[in-house]
Amino acid sequence: MPAMSTLDWFGLVGPYVVFFVMLIAYYVWEGKREQRLRERYDESRDASQTGWDRTEEADHAE
């Protein structure tokens, strides 16, 4: 059996590296998205508990 060349190694390992890099990027992206949604939910929950919402705040700011 002949030794594997560098190109053969890239062909064998490359798809796995690409997959794991994309998987890590997805988890980072979804983590940031979840954090934004959680902050938005907390803001809306706080506003509903105090009786204020964004439109009322905008009306009173004028």
Question: Can you read off the two tokens belonging to residue 42?
Answer: 């907390």
Q: Work out the pLDDT band at 61, boundaries 50, 70, 90.
A: low
pLDDT, one tens digit per residue, over 10-31 is 999 999 999 999 999 999 999 9
Alpha helix segments (H runs only) across the chain = 6-50, 54-61
pTM of the predicted model as reported, rounded to 2 decimal places: 0.57
CA distances from 52 to 21, 32, 36, 55, 61 (A): 43, 27, 21, 8, 13
CA distances from 61 to 9, 27, 40, 54, 56 (A): 63, 39, 21, 11, 9
